[in-house]
Amino acid sequence: MLQIQFIREHTAEVIERLKKRNIDAETLINKALEIDDMRKKAQYDCDALLAESNQLSRTVGELMKAGNKAEAEAIRSRSAALKEDIKNLEEKVKQLEAELQQHLNQIPNTPYHMVPEGKGADDNLEIRKGGSIPSLPEHALPHWELAAKYNLIDFELGVKITGAGFPVYKGKMARLQRAMVNFLLDQNTKAGYTEYVPPLVVNEASGYGTGQLPDKEGQMYFIGEDNLYLIPTSEVPLTNFFRDEILKAEDLPIKLTAFTPCFRREAGSYGKDVRGLNRLHQFDKVEIVQIAHPDKSYQILEEMVAHVEGIIQLLGLPYRILRLCGGDMGFASAMTYDFEVYSAAQNKWLEVSSVSNFESFQANRMKLRFKEGNEKPRLAHTLNGSSLAFPRILAALMENNQSEQGILLPAILQQYAGFEYLN
RNA sequence: GGUGAGGUGGGUGAGUGGCUGAAACCAGCAGUUUGCUAAACUGCCGUACGGGAAACUGUACCGGGGGUUCGAAUCCCCCCCUCACCGCCA
């Protein structure tokens, strides 16, 4: 959520930045300011009445103590008469505050100046490419056929016990994933991230803090009985560690990493996009999160991108890095880089990581602040990225590295897995 | 799930109707003293939303919501959470 105070002080800039999202920013922002003006007016009136009431009450106390009962009675009834007006005004203030909040919840984050203009995925800006796309033989198989051929993944079994989008990994594939967890967490720990094992379900306040709630309820599995949500990414618990906290400036940046399964309902997905491992309801992911000083967050974003890139290079996969355009960015992000790896048998790029700077958008929702010496608390910046999401990495590895003997693992994963080929 | 105790500022912890936005101590900040370190002393030190050029000032907040009262951290009701013991259980 954007800060109303910031909107008020930088109206033109906010509108200009929001235009990249191809929305009617002017109307949205002016409406917010309009509601806020009414809110301020109502609060001012309300405060004045409350001040008067407080003053009268104090007088009553003094008169009572002095034994001047008659006068105390008179003032008491005057004070009582104020009550109705106060109640009405308080209600009005509350209502306007709620209205403002609701309106602000609809305004997405302001894109950073480096974010390219554009409407959709075709307008994303390719920053760089790496690795080389293998030329596969004629009979090369897509990963779901390789999975069947080598008995690595049982999609039907998942359907039987749960439903579509919940694959069962078997044998060497299961062991490979265990190896991936260790490999990825080791990489992150080496880069200074502290490892955590967070809860896989979160409460409503956490869902709101990182921006999944309200409006995106439909994306998360919800346990109604206990009012809890299955996490769609460990970004949610990790970032919410710091909800309602005031950190010390010298403690920044805070760097965290975690491996967790992720749960997504993916309502509305269909067709070849969901084939095999391309899109699942449950998948594993290692995440990195940073809580940063506002002056450093963009430098940190680049560092995170370089870190993820290094990991993909270790895996030897052909990749490209895209800077998302305004029309393709998530609601809460100010700038996002997507990493895609090329899956050579499907002939398509698969998104395996998304690294974003949310600036103070999430921090404002969760009141995540920091303090520098005796200065007033300021909102921190939050960033996160996948390093990495497993299924599409596996899909690309399988397709790109297929051979007569089976699927050859990259050297680094051989060390962790203890075998050379998936076969 | 049952019973009991409790939730106060960064921390510990006083406070049972007006003199309390909140004692005291610790931590933190600024200064004095000091050869250095340490110690001592003095002052400052919650958050949010308003008004004001500023000095300053209004209001709200003692887990959350509602109520009683001229007046609530303090009394009443509901909810949430924590702790202890019991029960159940990987």
pLDDT in tens, A20-79: 999 999 999 999 999 999 999 999 999 999 999 999 988 888 888 777 888 888 888 888
**Strands A381-389 and A168-169: what pairing?**
unpaired
pLDDT of res. A272: 62
Do A262 and A138 share a domain, yes or no? yes
Which nt sits closest to A75, CA to C1'? B70
Which bases of strand B sit closer than 7 A to a protein CB?
Answer: 10, 18, 29, 47-51, 58-60, 70-71
Do A183 and A326 share a domain, yes or no? yes
* Full domain range(s) for residue A20: 4-104
CATH number at residue A96: 1.10.287.40
The distance (Å) linking the CA of A161 with the C1' of B63 is: 42
pLDDT of res. A85: 87
Q: Which chain A residues 374-393 have CB under 7 A to strand B? A: 374, 376-377
Q: Is the CB of A203 under 7 A from strand B?
A: no
Provide CB contacts within 8 A for A142, sequence distance 6+. Answer: A275, A276, A345, A346, A399
Q: Is the CB of A61 under 7 A from strand B?
A: yes
In a domain, A127, yes or no: yes
From edge to edge, which strands make up the β-sheet containing A369-371?
A: A246-248, A369-371, A378-379
Provide CB contacts within 8 A for A159, sequence distance 6+. Answer: A166
Q: Is the CB of A227 under 7 A from strand B?
A: no
pLDDT of res. A290: 95
**Residue spans of chain A under pLDDT 50:** none
The distance (Å) linking the CA of A163 with the C1' of B89 is: 29
Count of alpha carbons within 13 angstroms of residue A139, beta-carbon side: 2
The distance (Å) linking the CA of A225 with the C1' of B88 is: 20
Do A88 and A133 share a domain, yes or no? no
> How many structural domains are present in chain A?
2
Q: Is the CB of A370 under 7 A from strand B?
A: no
Do A197 and A252 share a domain, yes or no? yes
Single-letter residue type at A336? T
Do A95 and A149 share a domain, yes or no? no
Do A23 and A70 share a domain, yes or no? yes
Which nt sits closest to A49, CA to C1'? B59
Do A179 and A301 share a domain, yes or no? yes
Q: Is A232 exposed, middle or buried (0-12, 13-18, 19+ CB in 10 A)?
A: buried
Show which of A104, A131, A161 is a domain's final residue. Answer: A104
Q: What is the DSSP letter of A264?
A: -
pLDDT of res. A217: 76
Q: What is the pTM of this model?
A: 0.91
Do A87 and A170 share a domain, yes or no? no
Q: Which chain A residues 27-56 have CB under 7 A to strand B? A: 36, 40, 43-44, 46-48, 50-51, 53-56
In a domain, A24, yes or no: yes
Do A71 and A154 share a domain, yes or no? no
